């Protein structure tokens, strides 16, 4: 049976369980019509970046392929926004149109070479210049995006709206589409039994081990159960990167907290004492290790990752276990080793060291997390979110201080509570939360963002209203770029000038702004009203913006580092 390119694109997406696509006009209009006929929602965004972030949030929340589209002139904006999905290992398919070959390199209106733009933010990319290429390249792109180390892919379709491909007749048989739909890369394998047993022996023998989870461990459901089984089997405390927070409930007795540059001071100090660190799905980059100083080079490390190229990238001499992190952790827990009684005796003291450091620090923060000060302290706002989230729920946090506050103070106590965080793109959280809400009907989604971040994508308030997406947006509104404010003031010490030009905004009431868009909007100035306001908004099932007026002078304590180097303040935007 012959199909048009548009029909094939729509059938292929549906066969991969795509039920939302995110786009900016004008792109693949015939395909969008075909998608409507198949029950797929087409979410028109107000910018290409927002469309990408929506697809990214959709992919992270659903664990399925996210799809975004833009015409030729929007390709550069689409590519720039893909960096967050790339860094976070998110499976996103980006579709763009391009003018046909005879227009290339001839000063065609608004046309630039697309491939260089997408080179650093995609795992796979291809130019679909002829209709017959579509079935093969689309299939490959989808498999590449969702297998192994998941990352974005890009197809550039002939015609500035992709029309040369979608309007063509494809001689595609029904069994071709069936095989296309069934094509999935097999689940990553496991290390052999001897390798697993040897690694389990190393873990069992360590006296002060710690597991550190990263976003690469979030690929499949069941991660929390696998992590819990591993930690309980070996009596190992579990820390996370910021992005890995929520992969196991923070209420678990072995949950330790976040390590790295966004961590509370106790976390790095204790991690530095570990005699074995097990990294699972963690890229072991500069942020989670404070520039590769915690743990120190030479500390025994076991690294678990689905991507063999990540093993030993940043620390020499690691023991590498290649496979899906959740499956590998479960296999290690089942390795069948007899318990090492000598290690167990030492382990109880280590666990008490970890628990004690964590609990003492949190107790020391009562003065800010329970403060009645006005403007409201950001620490209290982040801590109060812990009591606002039902189970299940998804919390979507922006980068910068919103990541720091949630990493240190927001507890995710329920087994069904999830946490998604920007990999560094300020403004990501609001559109990403829209995508997450589209992917998770019936699950409350709360976005935690700052005023500086929300300004990026205010137009998407209209998208919330148009689709009645039940998203609650909590704005930490300090009328400033709070994370940079401290360093700007330091820069201007002893100097005359307008320091505020670098980091201060006018006060905007985002609740009133939301009401102008036809949404519910509530402004909170009393810290005692945070929990009741957010709970009521979540329970209503309506989109709502909650503007919380906070103190711009709130700053987290700096992360701990070894004494030969000063503490690293949480100041970098990402």
Burial of residue 42 (CB within 10 Å: 0-12, 13-18, 19+) is middle
Return d(Cα 431, Cα 555) in angstroms, integer. 26
Residues counted in the chain? 574
Per-domain residue ranges for the chain?
Answer: 3-182, 193-363, 365-549
Domain spanning 365-549 has what CATH number? 3.40.50.970
For residue 169, CA distances in Å to 69, 177, 400 come to 21, 15, 49
Provide the pLDDT for residue 338: 62
Q: Comparing C-alpha atoms, which of 419, 418, 411, 417 is closest to residue 391?
A: 417
Fold classification of 193-363 is Rossmann fold (3.40.50)
Return d(Cα 382, Cα 400) in angstroms, integer. 13
3-state secondary structure of 472: strand
Return d(Cα 5, Cα 166) in angstroms, integer. 4
Return d(Cα 489, Cα 438) in angstroms, integer. 41
Q: Comparing C-alpha atoms, which of 393, 433, 403, 388 is closest to residue 537?
A: 388
Return d(Cα 446, Cα 543) in angstroms, integer. 10
Mind spelling out the 3-state secondary structure of 144-191? HHHCCCCCCEEEEEEECCCHHHHCCEECCCHHHHHHHHHCCCCCCCCC
What tokens appear for 178 in the block?
């069936």
10-residue mean pLDDT profile of the chain (574 residues): values are: 90 95 98 98 98 98 97 96 97 96 88 95 97 94 95 96 94 71 77 95 95 90 91 96 95 97 97 98 96 97 96 96 96 77 70 97 98 98 98 97 97 96 96 98 98 98 98 98 93 95 97 98 98 98 98 95 64 38
Domains 3-182 and 193-363 agree in fold: yes
Domain spanning 3-182 has what CATH number? 3.40.50.970
Return d(Cα 205, Cα 411) in angstroms, integer. 31
Provide the pLDDT for residue 387: 98
Q: Comparing C-alpha atoms, which of 301, 332, 346 is closest to residue 232?
A: 332
What tokens appear for 355 in the block?
């628990």
Provide the pLDDT for residue 573: 37
Strands 92-98 and 124-128: unpaired
Mind spelling out the 3-state secondary structure of 328-370? HHHHHHCCCCCCCHHHHHHHHHHHHHHHHHHHHHHHHCHHHHC
In this structure, are residues 468 and 552 in contact, taking their beta carbons and an 8 Å threshold?
Answer: no
Q: Comparing C-alpha atoms, which of 252, 219, 223, 250 is closest to residue 235?
A: 252
Provide the pLDDT for residue 48: 98
Question: pTM for this structure?
Answer: 0.96
């Amino acid at each position: 049976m012959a199909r048009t390119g548009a029909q094939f694109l729509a059938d292929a997406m549906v066969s991969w369980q795509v039920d939302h696509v995110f786009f900016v006009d004008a792109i693949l209009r015939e395909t969008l019509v075909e998608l409507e006929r198949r029950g797929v929602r087409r979410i028109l965004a107000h910018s290409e970046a927002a469309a990408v972030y929506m697809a990214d949030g959709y992919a992270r929340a659903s664990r399925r392929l996210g799809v975004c589209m833009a015409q030729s002139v929007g390709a550069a904006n689409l590519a720039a926004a893909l960096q967050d999905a790339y860094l976070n290992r998110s499976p996103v398919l980006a579709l763009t149109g391009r003018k046909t070959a005879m227009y290339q390199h001839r000063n065609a209106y608004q046309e630039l070479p697309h491939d260089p733009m997408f080179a650093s933010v995609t795992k796979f990319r291809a130019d679909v210049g002829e209709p017959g290429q579509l079935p093969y390249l689309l299939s490959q792109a989808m498999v590449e995006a969702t297998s192994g180390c998941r990352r974005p892919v890009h197809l550039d379709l002939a015609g500035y709206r992709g029309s040369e491909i979608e309007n063509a007749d494809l001689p595609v048989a029904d069994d071709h589409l069936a095989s296309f739909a069934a094509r999935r890369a097999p689940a990553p394998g496991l290390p052999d039994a001897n390798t697993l047993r040897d690694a389990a022996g190393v873990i069992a023998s360590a006296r002060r081990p710690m597991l550190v989870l990263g976003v690469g461990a979030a690929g499949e459901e069941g991660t929390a159960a696998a992590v819990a089984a591993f930690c309980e089997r070996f009596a190992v405390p579990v820390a996370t990167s910021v992005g890995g927070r929520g992969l196991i409930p923070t209420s678990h007795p072995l949950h330790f907290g976040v390590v790295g540059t966004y961590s509370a001071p106790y976390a790095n100090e204790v991690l530095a004492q570990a005699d074995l660190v097990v990294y699972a799905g963690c890229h072991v980059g500069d942020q989670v290790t404070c520039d590769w100083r915690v743990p120190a080079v030479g500390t025994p490390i076991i690294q678990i990752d689905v991507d063999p190229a990540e093993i030993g990238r940043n620390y020499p001499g690691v023991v590498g276990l290649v496979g899906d992190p959740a499956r590998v952790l479960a296999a290690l827990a089942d390795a069948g080793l007899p318990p090492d009684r000598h290690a167990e005796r030492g382990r109880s003291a280590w666990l008490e060291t970890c628990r004690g450091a964590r609990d003492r620090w949190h107790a020391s923060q009562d003065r800010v997390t329970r403060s009645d000060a006005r403007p409201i302290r950001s620490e209290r706002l982040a801590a109060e979110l812990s009591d606002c989230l039902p189970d299940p729920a998804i919390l979507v946090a922006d980068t910068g201080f919103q990541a720091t506050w949630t990493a240190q103070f927001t507890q995710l106590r329920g087994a069904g509570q999830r946490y998604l965080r920007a990999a560094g793109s300020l403004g990501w959280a609001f559109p990403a939360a829209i995508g997450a809400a589209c992917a998770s009907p019936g699950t409350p989604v709360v976005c935690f963002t700052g005023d500086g971040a929300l300004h990026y994508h205010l137009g998407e308030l209209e998208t919330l209203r148009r689709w009645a997406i039940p998203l609650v947006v909590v704005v930490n509104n300090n009328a400033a770029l709070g994370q940079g404010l401290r360093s700007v003031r330091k820069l201007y010490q002893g100097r005359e000038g307008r320091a505020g030009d670098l980091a201060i905004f006018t006060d905007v009431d985002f609740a009133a702004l939301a009401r102008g868009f036809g949404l519910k909007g509530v402004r909170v100035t009393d810290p005692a009203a945070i929990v009741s306001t957010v709970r009521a908004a979540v329970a209503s099932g309506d989109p709502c913006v909650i503007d919380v007026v906070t103190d711009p002078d709130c700053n987290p304590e700096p992360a701990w580092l070894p004494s030969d180097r000063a503490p690293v303040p949480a100041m970098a935007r990402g």
